[in-house]
Every structure is written in structure tokens, then in C-alpha cells.
């Protein structure tokens, strides 16, 4: 089986990479090597640029020199025109990597008599190819011949021969053709070039234009069949293979802080998952951008790169506004870790936005992307298209392990849980900001509507925009439900007053007991005292009694002695006395 696979892959059509961003991805490696390719499209759709970039990239990146045979623009015009894309054709010509050959056909200068062929064109092309060992050829656009030469029979036969000849030469050739009314090209070039046909398109829809590319056919190769948006900017051509994304991205267990400690706590104390998609939605003026700015600042502090797309405010305005809540983004911009990308959503179509996002992300390589806000795309009721676009952005960012934060404005009339862009199902963590109107004031409340893969807090928290950023107040949990603003303060004051009263009660009780104890002690000691005095009195009385008895006995003894009574009597008296 392995061997079979190997054999198959060795038999696979060899390809010639174009070096055009994204194009090689959708074609699985580029254009078919050694074959003619037809690139067709209407006026101004970028055929010539596509072709010239193919040659320039070939010469500079793949060491495949090229020949550009132009039937329309002169060499000078062409050189100047593509200089704006950063291509230095003169340098390539000097280094023998490129030959420009302008074929000038002026109908008024030409008279036809009898049989002829286009052998001279073959010779010129062959000479140019051989002199620099060219592997790539562009004929732009050969249809001009039809205007210059009246004899179409000869021309068509010769074109057929030309494409055959190009194949035999083994060069990869791009032939451009103007779009025809019912055919792909005005002169039906697709009859001759049947290996690979690429269609470029420049459409204007609701005043915004979008460039699109489609591979009409590609013999012997798998290819993407969709229409892909493409861009032409200062770095050349770029095609966006956006629809080729799937749900196969790797997930991360790493967490990133939201930049707001209390919000992190609501998300298991750790924040968002890296590579997840966060939506902050809420009504106007509720602080969505502030939360985004916190996230951006925290990321910059961690040393990560942040790409901030703002669709409503200019970067300067945003920086100024964030300064008022104590977030200074300017140093990060200067350091180059934070990049603002400000465009009006109406500037170009959705596809183009996607393309721009794609390109900007690829160029800046951020860890975090912020889109603020996404609902501005909703210009008309194209919800499906917006959803597809956002889905592509989400997929693309996820595949690149980029944490994305979108903000979305919900209109106060609609349900808060419905985000206008209709992308709720794409979102991993959804933070909902809402106004709470209570007792004559508006306060801000925040809660985590959902957060996939974590035990998030279910509390509605009041949050405030202070001069040192977003602050979340502890959730008020009491008999009165969620209270905010002054109502909450009043409730808190009331509660603390009650607490104070209770405290005082207890203290009073304590004091009473103490007093009682003191009284008791006093009584006890008084009794003691009384008892002692009574006791001592009793002892005294006993002593007196004993003294009296003693004295009585003494008296008796003295009496007896004086009467000279029996000694026995005395003895008994004495005995009594001793007793």
C-alpha cells in the first residue's frame, strides 16, 4: 500500500509554486509545471499583476527565471506600474532573471497579403527563454493579436500551435485573457488552454468591491472550488484560503488573565482559555471597550502581542479614552507589541475584511486579537454572510492558537442574550454586560453567560469604571436580591446600622451581667463579713462563758479551801475545773 502511494505521488502532476500568498494552498502547490495556464477576468481585476507576481516570485524565491511578453503595456509602463507593489523589474532584468518583451501591434501599420504564420513570435519567445534559461512565461494578453490581425483562421491555428510549442518547451506559461460575454474569454482562448483555468473577478456589491478568485478547472489536481477573496496591496497579491479551515485545531489548557482580577475569579480564578473566543456583549456605553482594553493591557504586560481591530474609534481616540480609566496603551504601541488596525466596516466588503484580518494577523503574528465591535458589520440584513465571515475568522484564529475577544453591541430593545451578529454558538466564553435600572439610576452589571470548559461564577456582579480601571464589586447576596448603585449602598448602610445596633445590645448585656456578678460578689462578701463578725462574737461569748465557769470553779475551790473541806471534794472540783 505504501509503495502504491509512493508510486502515485511520484506520478502526481509536478507543480510550480507561485509564491503568491494563499494561492499555493488552494491549489495544493501552485500551477501545473510546464503547462499553459489561462488567467481570465474583466478589466482591472488583476490579471497582469497575478502574472507578473508569478514571474517575480519565481525569479526571486524559486530560482526560475521568467519571460514576460506583453501585447499591451510597454516595458517602461509595466516597470512603473508594478514598482508600487515593491517589485523591482529593472534589477531582475539586470540580473538576467527576467526578460520583458513588448510586442507592439499597430493595425494601421500592418497590411496583410497572403499566407503567413506567427513564427517570429515563437522565435522571439524562444530566444528570450533560451537566453536566460526561463522556466516561466507570461503572455499578456495574447488576445490583442485578434485586434491587430484580421485573418482569424491563421491566428487560431497559430495559437493552437503556440500553446503546444510552450508545452514542448516545458515552460509554465500564464496566458491572460479578457472576460467575454458568454465565454470565459473574449476570443475563446479556453479552447486552447485546457489544463488550468483561473478566473479573477472584481465585483461591486452594495457599493463595496470585492476581488475574488476561482479555479475553474485544474486537470490532474485537487483544488479548492470556491470563490476566494483576494487582495492586491503594497506587498502584492494575496489569496485567502479561508474556507479550507476545519474544526481540527489543537486546544490549549493554558489560561490567560482577562486583566481584571475579579473577572478572573469569576472564571475559576484563572481567566480565559488560550486560543478561545471571548464575546463581550452589551448595550451602548456599558464598558465593552474598557474590558477589551484591560485584556489588551494585561497581555502586553505579559509580553504578548496584541492586534486590535477597531471599527468605530480611531486608535488615538481609543488610547485617550482608555487613559481616563487608567489604562495607558500608548507605551505598548510604541514598543510595537500592540498594533491598532482601524478601518470603517463600510470601507470594503465582508470578504475583504476577512482578507484584511487574515493578512494583518499573518503579518503581525499576535497572541491576542481584539475585534471591537463586530456588529458594525451588520449594515444590511446579511446575517448569514456575517456569520460565515465571523466563523471563518474564529476558525482561523483558533487554528493559530490566538485568543480572540470580540465586542458586540446589543440593542436595548432586543433580547440581551441575542447578539446581532448571530454568532453566539461560535463563542467559548460570553460575558454579558447589562444596564440595571433601579431607583432612578443606571448601573452596570456583568455576568458570565457561558464559558465552555470551566465552572464559571453564576453571579451578576456590579462593575464600575473608575479612574484605575474596571472594578467589580462583591456580589450583594442578601434578602433583597441583587442591588446596585445607591440602592446597594443604602442597603449596605442599613445593614451596617443594624449590625451596629446588635453589637451595642450585646455589649449592654455583657455589661449587665458584669454588674450582676459584681453585686453578687459584694453580697457574698457582706454575708461573709457578717458571718465572721457573728462568729467572732460567739467565740467571745464562749470565752466569757468559759471564763465564768473557770471563775466559778475557782470560787468554789477557794470556798472549799477556806472551809477546809474534804480533799476529795477539792479533787472533784479540780477535776471539774480541768474538764
Partner 1 sequence: MTIKKENSAKKIRVEKQVETTNDLWVLRLYVAGQTPKALTAFTNLKKICEEQLNGEYSIEVIDLLRNPQLGADDQIFALPTLVRKLPVPVRKIIGDLSNTERVLVGLDLLPVNNL
Q: Which residues bind partner 1 (CB under 8 A)?
A: 101, 103-105, 109-121, 123-124, 126-127, 145, 149
Under 8 Å between Cβ of 307 and 360: yes
CA angle 340, 345, 350 (to 5 degrees): 110
Distance CA(396)–CA(356), nearest Å, equals 13
Distance CA(336)–CA(346), nearest Å, equals 27
Residue 162 vs 199, nearer CB to partner 1:
162
Among candidate residues 92, 33, 94, the one with its CA nearest the CA of residue 66: 92
Distance CA(396)–CA(25), nearest Å, equals 14
Residue 239: HSE in the Cβ half-sphere, 13 Å Cα cutoff: 29
Burial of 329 (0-12, 13-18, 19+ CB in 10 A): buried
Contacts of residue 461, Cβ cutoff 8 Å, sequence gap at least 6: 262, 266, 445, 446, 447, 472, 473, 474, 475
Residue 100 vs 263, nearer CB to partner 1:
100
**Residue whose grid cell is 451596629:** 500
Under 8 Å between Cβ of 275 and 403: yes
Q: Which helix (H) or strand (E) holds 346?
A: none
Region of residue 19 (left: phi > 0; alpha: psi -120 to 50; beta: else): left
**Residue whose grid cell is 470580540:** 406
In the sheet where 98-102 sits, what is the strand order?
98-102, 66-70, 136-140, 172-178, 36-41, 196-205, 208-218, 227-233, 236-239
Minimum Å distance from CB 358 to partner 1?
42
**Residue whose grid cell is 505521488:** 9
Burial of 388 (0-12, 13-18, 19+ CB in 10 A): middle
Residue 162 vs 433, nearer CB to partner 1:
162
Minimum Å distance from CB 317 to partner 1?
57
Minimum Å distance from CB 231 to partner 1?
35
Residue 171 vs 361, nearer CB to partner 1:
171
Residue 120 vs 490, nearer CB to partner 1:
120
Distance CA(309)–CA(402), nearest Å, equals 14
Minimum Å distance from CB 76 to partner 1?
15
Residue 532 appears among annotated catalytic residues: no
CA angle 249, 253, 257 (to 5 degrees): 110
Residue 109 vs 474, nearer CB to partner 1:
109
Residue 108 vs 425, nearer CB to partner 1:
108
Q: Which three cell numbers stand for residue 455?
A: 465552572
Residue 182 appears among annotated catalytic residues: no
Residue 9 vs 113, nearer CB to partner 1:
113
Minimum Å distance from CB 20 to partner 1?
29
Distance CA(204)–CA(211), nearest Å, equals 9
Residue 104 vs 517, nearer CB to partner 1:
104
**Residue whose grid cell is 456580589:** 475
Residue 127 vs 529, nearer CB to partner 1:
127
Written as one string, the DSSP assignment of 2-58 is: HHHHHHHHHHSPPEE----BTHHHHTTSSEETTSEEEEEESTTSSHHHHHHHHHHHH
Minimum Å distance from CB 191 to partner 1?
21
Marked catalytic residue, from 191, 312, 313, 385: 312
Distance CA(106)–CA(144), nearest Å, equals 10
Q: Which helix (H) or strand (E) holds 567?
A: helix 567-578
Marked catalytic residue, from 25, 72, 73, 268: 72
Minimum Å distance from CB 405 to partner 1?
59
Cα→Cα distances 323→95, 290, 302, 319, 371, Å: 53, 10, 20, 6, 20
Minimum Å distance from CB 60 to partner 1?
25
Minimum Å distance from CB 164 to partner 1?
17
Q: Which three cell numbers stand for residue 510?
A: 455583657
Minimum Å distance from CB 130 to partner 1?
9
Residues noted as catalytic: 72, 312
Amino acid at each position: 500500500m505504501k509503495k502504491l502511494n509512493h508510486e502515485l505521488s511520484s506520478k502526481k502532476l509536478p507543480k510550480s509554486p507561485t509564491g503568491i500568498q494563499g494561492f499555493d494552498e488552494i491549489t495544493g502547490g501552485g500551477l501545473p509545471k510546464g503547462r499553459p495556464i489561462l488567467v481570465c477576468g474583466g478589466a482591472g481585476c488583476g490579471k497582469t499583476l497575478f502574472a507578473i507576481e508569478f514571474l517575480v516570485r519565481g525569479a526571486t524565491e524559486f530560482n526560475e527565471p521568467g519571460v514576460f511578453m506583453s501585447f499591451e503595456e510597454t516595458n517602461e509602463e509595466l516597470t512603473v506600474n508594478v514598482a508600487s507593489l515593491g517589485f523591482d523589474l529593472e534589477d531582475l532584468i539586470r540580473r538576467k532573471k527576467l526578460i520583458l518583451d513588448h510586442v507592439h501591434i499597430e493595425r494601421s501599420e500592418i497590411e496583410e497579403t497572403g499566407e503567413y504564420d506567427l513564427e517570429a513570435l515563437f522565435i522571439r519567445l524562444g530566444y528570450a527563454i533560451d537566453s536566460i534559461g526561463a522556466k516561466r512565461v507570461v503572455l499578456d494578453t495574447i488576445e490583442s493579436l485578434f485586434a491587430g490581425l484580421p485573418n482569424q483562421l491563421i491566428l487560431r491555428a497559430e495559437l493552437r500551435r503556440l500553446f503546444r510549442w510552450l508545452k514542448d518547451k516545458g515552460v509554465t506559461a500564464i496566458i491572460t485573457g479578457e472576460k467575454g460575454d458568454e465565454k470565459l474569454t473574449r476570443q475563446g482562448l479556453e479552447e486552447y488552454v485546457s489544463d488550468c483555468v483561473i478566473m479573477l473577478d472584481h465585483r461591486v456589491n452594495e457599493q463595496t468591491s470585492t476581488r475574488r478568485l476561482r479555479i475553474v478547472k485544474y486537470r490532474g489536481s485537487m483544488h479548492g472550488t470556491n470563490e476566494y477573496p483576494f487582495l492586491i496591496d503594497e506587498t502584492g497579491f494575496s489569496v485567502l484560503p479561508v474556507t479550507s479551515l476545519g474544526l481540527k485545531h489543537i486546544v490549549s489548557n493554558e489560561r490567560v488573565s482577562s486583566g481584571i482580577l475579579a473577572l478572573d475569579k469569576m472564571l475559576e480564578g484563572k481567566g480565559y482559555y488560550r486560543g478561545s473566543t471571548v464575546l463581550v456583549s452589551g448595550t451602548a456605553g456599558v464598558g465593552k471597550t474598557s474590558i477589551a482594553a484591560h485584556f489588551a493591557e494585561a497581555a502586553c504586560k505579559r509580553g504578548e502581542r496584541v492586534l486590535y481591530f477597531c471599527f468605530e474609534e480611531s486608535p488615538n481616540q481609543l488610547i485617550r479614552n482608555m487613559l481616563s480609566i487608567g489604562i495607558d496603551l500608548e507605551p505598548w504601541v510604541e514598543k510595537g507589541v500592540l498594533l491598532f488596525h482601524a478601518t470603517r466596516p463600510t470601507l470594503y466588503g465582508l470578504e475583504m475584511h476577512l482578507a484584511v484580518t487574515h493578512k494583518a494577523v499573518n503579518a503581525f503574528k499576535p497572541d491576542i486579537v481584539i475585534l471591537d465591535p463586530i456588529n458594525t458589520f451588520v449594515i444590511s440584513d446579511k446575517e448569514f454572510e456575517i456569520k460565515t465571515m465571523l466563523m471563518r475568522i474564529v476558525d482561523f484564529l483558533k487554528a493559530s492558537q490566538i485568543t480572540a475577544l470580540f465586542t458586540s453591541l446589543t440593542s436595548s430593545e432586543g433580547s440581551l442574550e441575542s447578539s446581532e451578529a448571530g454568532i453566539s454558538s461560535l463563542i467559548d466564553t460570553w460575558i454579558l454586560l447589562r444596564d440595571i435600572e433601579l431607583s432612578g439610576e443606571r448601573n452596570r452589571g456583568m455576568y458570565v453567560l457561558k464559558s465552555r470548559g470551566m465552572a464559571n461564577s453564576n453571579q451578576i456582579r456590579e462593575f464600575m469604571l473608575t479612574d484605575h480601571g474596571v472594578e467589580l464589586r462583591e456580589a450583594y447576596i442578601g434578602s433583597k436580591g441583587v442591588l446596585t448603585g445607591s440602592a446597594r449602598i443604602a442597603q449596605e448602610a442599613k445593614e451596617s446600622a443594624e449590625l451596629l445596633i446588635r453589637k451595642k445590645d450585646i455589649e449592654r448585656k455583657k455589661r449587665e451581667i458584669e454588674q450582676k456578678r459584681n453585686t453578687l460578689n459584694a453580697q457574698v462578701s457582706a454575708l461573709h463579713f457578717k458571718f465572721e463578725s457573728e462568729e467572732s462574737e460567739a467565740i467571745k461569748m464562749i470565752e466569757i462563758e468559759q471564763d465564768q465557769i473557770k471563775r466559778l470553779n475557782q470560787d468554789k475551790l477557794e470556798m472549799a479551801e477556806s472551809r477546809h473541806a474534804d480533799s476529795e471534794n477539792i479533787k472533784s472540783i479540780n477535776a471539774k475545773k480541768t474538764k
